[in-house]
Amino acid sequence: MDDLDRKIINLLQEGFPLTEEPYADVAKQLGIDESGLLSRLKSLLDEKILSRFGPMYDAAKLGGDFSLVAIKVPKDRFDEVAGIVNSYEEVAHNYHRDHDFNMWYVLATESPEKIHEVNADIEKRIGLKVFNMPKLDEYYIGLKLTA
Amino acid sequence: MSKALLQNEVIILDELDRQIIQATQSGLPLVPRPYHHVAEDLGVTVKEVIRRMKAMKDTGIIRRIAAVPNHYALGYKGNGMTVWDVPSELVNDLGHKVGVLDFVSHCYHRPRFLPDWPYNLFAMVHAHNRKEALLLVDTIAELLGKHDRGHDVLFSKQILKKTGMRLL
C-alpha cells in the first residue's frame, strides 16, 4: 500500500458519486486517470484491504431486522456452542470477545419476529440464556479510519 | 428505532428498485460506467438507475455509497466494543456526543439486562493496538464525566463467523 492507495481509501470512505462516469470524476479529484483508479481499486479489493465497495443498504428499511446477541459461554463448551450458533444462516457475524459475555453474534433476518424465533431456538439447543440487545437508537454509523 | 421508522415512513419499493438492490448489494461494478452496466443488465436506461438510486439515498435506504476498509489490513488491531452505563434520560444526548468522535465508528443505545448487564450505550473504537484503544476509552470517560456510572471494553479475540448479508 502506497500513498496513492491511502488517498484512494480515505477519499472513497467519504462517498462515491451517482454520476454517469463516477470513476473518472473521482480520478480527476485524485489527479490520476480512470483506468489507474480502477486497477488500484481492484487490487485493494482483491487483497482485502477494502472489504466492500458500493452502496450500503439499510436492511431495517427494507423490512429486515438486525440484532446483536450476547451469551456467557463456559470455556469448556465454547467450541461446541460456536458450532451450533454459526450453523444458523441468519447468524451473519459472530465474535469471540474477552469478557464473561464472550460470544457476540449478529442476527440478520427478514422480519423482527424471526429474530425471536432464531434466538429461542438457539437458547433451547445450547441450554444457555441468550441476551438479545437490538439497537434502540443509533447515533453514528460510518467508518472514519485513516489509511 | 427501526420499527418506528417503518411506521412513520412508508417507503414503497417496486420491482425495479429491488432488482437494483440485488444487482449492487455485493458491490458496484469496477468498469468505467458502472451504473450503465447495471442499467444494461436490467434493460433500463442509466438515467433511470441513477434516479432510483438517488431516491433511495434520499429516503435512507442507501445509507451511502462508499468503500469500507478492513480494519486489520489498515493496521487497526485494537478494536474494542466499549460499553457504558449512563442515565437513561441522557442516553440520546450523550450518544450523539460520543458518536461524533472520529475514532468511534458505530454508536448505539441498547437495552440493559440487570443485574448481569448494566450498560446501555455501545461505542466501537478503533486503534492500532489495545494500549492506544484504552486511551480512547479514557477520552470517552472524560467526555461523559459524572454521567459515566461504569464502563467496560470488550476486545475481539477471534472472528468466529463473518458473512456478507443478503438483503433481498
Per residue in A74-86, pLDDT (tens digit) is 999 999 999 999 9
Give B6's pLDDT tier (boundaries 50, 70, 90). Answer: very low
Domain assignment present for residue A67? The answer is yes
Residue B60: which residues within 8 A CB-CB, separation 6 or more?
A: A58, A61
> What is the predicted pLDDT for the residue at A27?
98
pLDDT at A144: 63
Q: Give the side-chain half-sphere CA count within 13 A for A22.
A: 19
> A125 lies in a domain?
yes
Residues of chain A positioned with their CB less than 8 A from the CB of B54: 18
In Å, how far is B147's CA from the nearest CA of chain A?
Answer: 17
For residues A41 and A91, membership in a common domain is answered with no
Nearest-angstrom CA–CA distance, B47 and A19: 9
pLDDT in tens, A33-47: 999 999 999 999 999
**Which of left, alpha, beta for A94 (phi over 0: left; psi -120 to 50: alpha)?**
beta
- Chain A residues close to B25, C-beta within 8 Å: 54-55, 57
Q: Do B155 and A133 touch (CB under 8 A)?
A: no
Test B2 with A61 for CB contact under 8 angstroms: yes
Q: Is residue A147 part of a domain?
A: no
Q: What would the mean pLDDT of B118-133 be, rounded to a whole number? A: 96
- For residue range B133-168, what is the model confidence (pLDDT) as tens digits? 999 999 999 999 999 999 999 998 888 988 766 666
The domain total for chain A is 2
Cβ–Cβ below 8 Å for A53 and B105: no
Count how many pairs of residues, chain A against chain B, have C-beta atoms within 8 Å: 241
Domains along the sequence of chain B with CATH: 10-58 (1.10.10.10), 72-155 (3.30.70.3460)
A13 in any annotated domain: yes
Shared domain check, A126 and A64: yes
A57–B71 CB contact, under 8 Å: no
Tens of pLDDT, residue by residue, chain A (147 residues): 899 999 999 999 989 999 999 999 999 999 999 999 999 999 999 999 998 999 999 877 887 889 999 999 999 999 999 999 999 999 999 999 999 999 999 998 888 899 999 999 999 999 999 999 999 999 976 656 677
Amino acid of residue A89 = E
What residues of chain A lie within 8 A of the CB of B57, using their CB?
A: 18
pLDDT of B13 reads: 86
Q: What is the mean pLDDT of residues B59-65?
A: 92
- CATH number assigned to the domain comprising residue A81: 3.30.70.3460
- pLDDT for B7 equals 43
Could you tell me if A10 and A66 lie in one domain?
no
Q: Choose the mutation target among A113, A139, A141, A144 for the interface with B, i.e. most B CBs under 10 Å.
A: A139
Q: How far is A76 from chain B (nearest CA, A)?
A: 16
Residue A120 lies in a domain: yes
> Does B35 contact A22 at a Cβ distance shorter than 8 Å?
yes
Q: Is residue A141 one of the residues assigned to a domain?
A: no
Question: Which residues from chain B sit within 8 angstroms of residue A133, using beta carbons?
Answer: 110-111, 113, 117
> B74 vs A20: CB contact, 8 Å cut-off?
no
What are the beta bridge partners of residue B107? A140, B123
A42 and A72: one domain?
no
Cell 472489504, residue located: A51
- Report CB contact under 8 Å: A143, B68: yes
Q: Residue A141: CA atoms inside 13 Å, Cβ hemisphere, count?
A: 14
Q: How many Å from the N-terminal Cα to the C-terminal Cα in chain A?
A: 9
Do A8 and A32 lie in a common domain? Answer: yes
The residue whose grid cell reads 460456536 is A82
Interface contact A19-B50, CB threshold 8 A: yes
State the Cα–Cα distance between residues B109 and B112, nearest whole angstrom: 9
Is residue A122 domain-shared with residue A77, that is, in the same domain? yes
Whole-number average pLDDT of chain B = 90
A33 with A72, same domain: the answer is no
Together in a domain, A78 and A110: yes
CB contact residues (below 8 A), chain B span 71-90, against chain A? 71, 73-74, 76, 81
Complex ipTM tops 0.90: no
A29 with A63, same domain? no
**Contacting residues of B for A15, CB less than 8 Å apart:** 64-66
Q: What is the pLDDT of residue A61?
A: 82
Asked if A104 and A67 sit in the same domain, the reply is yes
Please tell me which of the candidates A93, A144, A145 has its beta carbon nearest to residue B161.
Answer: A93
DSSP state of B32: S
Residue B5 banded pLDDT, cuts 50, 70, 90: very low
Structural domain containing residue A13: 3-46
A146, part of any domain: no
Question: Which chain A residues touch B109 with a CB distance below 8 Å?
Answer: 135-139
Whether A21 and A84 map to the same domain: the answer is no
The answer to whether position A145 is within a domain reads no
Touching check for B7 and chain A: CB below 8 Å? no
Q: Are A73 and A11 part of one and the same domain?
A: no
Radius of gyration, alpha carbons of chain B: 20
